[in-house]
Amino acid sequence: MPTRLFLCNLKVYADIKKDIAQAKLKFATKQPVTDYWTCGNVTSIQKGDVAYFLRVGDSQRGIFASGVILRPPAFKTVQYRWDTVVNDFNKPLLISELLQRPEFSGANFYVRGSGYKLAEEYTSALNTEWQQYVNSFGVRA
């Protein structure tokens, strides 16, 4: 399945820290965490696409959650389910650290809009790095 990047700027979406806290509580009681996220004009997103949620807008640019798309775009949003989140929004998996690794040479994490499709050659490495990061600094559903 394609891997998509969805953007989150704390200046635009101030409640994201509350959403992460609620997700952790729901994960602890085995409840699903589903909601809607903007995808702009990207219409190629499909049910089942892998979704990574990326903090943008400051020096802490990095991944803070992952999940799967439940419904394709409608009204410039997609429905998603989170499967993992970081313990602290201020400690995401930093893109600057990923780009220092040879397996991410040429990867584009500096996208300008939600729903960007990550090139397939980076998806396996990203999944591996993210799963290792979540083992130490995150929570799973």
- The pLDDT of residue 52 is 98
At 131, which amino acid appears?
Q
72-127 per-position pLDDT tens digit: 999 999 999 999 999 999 999 999 999 999 999 999 999 999 999 999 999 999 99
At 74, which amino acid appears?
A
- pTM (whole model) above 0.75: yes
Domain range annotation of the chain: 3-140
- The pLDDT of residue 92 is 98
Which segments of 1-141 are extended strands (E)?
3-9, 33-38, 50-56, 62-74, 77-86, 93-94, 116-117, 138-140
Mean pLDDT of all residues belonging to the chain? 97
Residue 30 confidence class, pLDDT cut points 50, 70, 90: very high
Residue pair 108/120 in contact by the 8 Å Cβ criterion: no
Q: Is 71 exposed, middle or buried (0-12, 13-18, 19+ CB in 10 A)?
A: middle
- The pLDDT of residue 64 is 98
- Mean pLDDT value of segment 55-69: 96
- The pLDDT of residue 141 is 96
CATH code for the part of the protein at 3-140: 3.10.590
